[in-house]
Amino acid sequence: MPASAAKKTEDCPTAPPARRTTYAKALHRACVVMGGAAELAQRLDVPEMSLRDWMEGREEPPEAVFLAAVELLLLYLEQPGRAN
């Protein structure tokens, strides 16, 4: 894994297995795609600490935030050269 990709993953917390919900997994993946928690929080217009709580499975995100993250993932997958 390139150093830049490793850094992105390090800045995106993962929920422990017992709390690894669809919400947490989607937010984690969107975090990696966006380049880190601060970037995703800014894009979603949410506090970074709340985002980290949601990614760690401590709380469920608001539905609108979850759907916005899913939309980011779908747009990412639609880019030329990305696997579907």
- Per-residue pLDDT tens, the chain, 84 aa: give them: 344 555 566 789 999 999 999 999 999 999 999 999 999 999 999 999 999 999 999 999 999 999 999 999 999 988 877 665
Res 10: pLDDT: 77
Residue 35 inside a domain? The answer is yes
Number of domains in the chain: 1
Its domain, for residue 54, covers 3-78
Residue type, 48: E
Res 80: pLDDT: 79
**What are the distances in angstroms from CA 80 to CA 32, 68, 76, 77?**
18, 21, 9, 8
Residue 84 inside a domain? The answer is no
Say what the pTM is. 0.85
Residue 32 inside a domain? The answer is yes
Closest CA to 44 of 20, 22, 63, 21: 63
Rounded Cα–Cα distance for residues 35 and 11 (Å):
8
Q: What is the DSSP letter of 80?
A: T
Res 59: pLDDT: 96
Chain mean position to CA 41:
9
Residue 37 inside a domain? The answer is yes
